[in-house]
Amino acid sequence: MQLTWLTDEMPVPEADAYFDLLFEENGPSFTAIKDKPVFINSVIKTGKDLHPNCIRINAWNGFLERDTIEIATANLPNLKEADHVLQTLNWKYQQAPDIPGMIAARVIAMIVNEAYFGSGDGISTRAEIDTAMKLGTNYPLGPFEWSEKIGLPKIYALLKKLSESSSRYAVAPALEKEVMQ
């Protein structure tokens, strides 16, 4: 399998699959591709809002560094194609539900949100909360470190989307205040 990294000036070559890691920031790059799998970094937008050939991946900062990536699709025939492409690349994957946040991003967003509730209530400093989570739960990063790595606006957008269907995802006032500054 041949990989080609495209810049804005390059025409899109014929390929077996395409990856759009800037989908959430810039919108779709491969709108003309309808018959090949397009893996897109779409943590928030679900398959029902995407073209049927799209396969969602969680490519937020830090998540592609893991041994296993998350994928989700609303179109089940895509799974066979996705499996073939990811096996060719020697990428391990976990099929996640086709819902906003999939699995890991949803959980990390809630951990970050709870840390902002605690910080906003004066329970502890950000540095102490990060240290407590790393030492107490053996997390690789504390919640404030995660928010810096991922980008707080992305976490905020996911929580706002999730809060549309459940109040348990209500955004911490301190988190919202920081994003709105």
Domain of residue 167 covers: 104-180
Name the residue among 53, 90, 88 with its Cα closest to residue 73. Answer: 53
CATH number at residue 151: 1.10.1040.50
Q: Which of 41, 70, 95 is the last residue of a domain?
A: 95
- Write out pLDDT tens, residues 41-53: 999 999 999 999 9
Residue 173 and residue 116 share a domain: yes
CA distances (Å), 18 to each of 31, 44, 48, 56, in order? 11, 19, 19, 12
- Write out pLDDT tens, residues 8-46: 677 888 888 899 999 999 988 888 888 889 999 999 999
| Residue 34 resides in a domain | yes
- pLDDT(1) > 70: no
- Write out pLDDT tens, residues 134-181: 999 999 999 999 999 999 999 999 999 999 999 999 999 999 999 999
| Residue 163 resides in a domain | yes
- Give 98's contacts (C-beta < 8 A, 6+ positions apart): 46, 47, 48, 56, 72, 73, 74
Looking at residue 13, its pLDDT comes to 82
Looking at residue 4, its pLDDT comes to 67
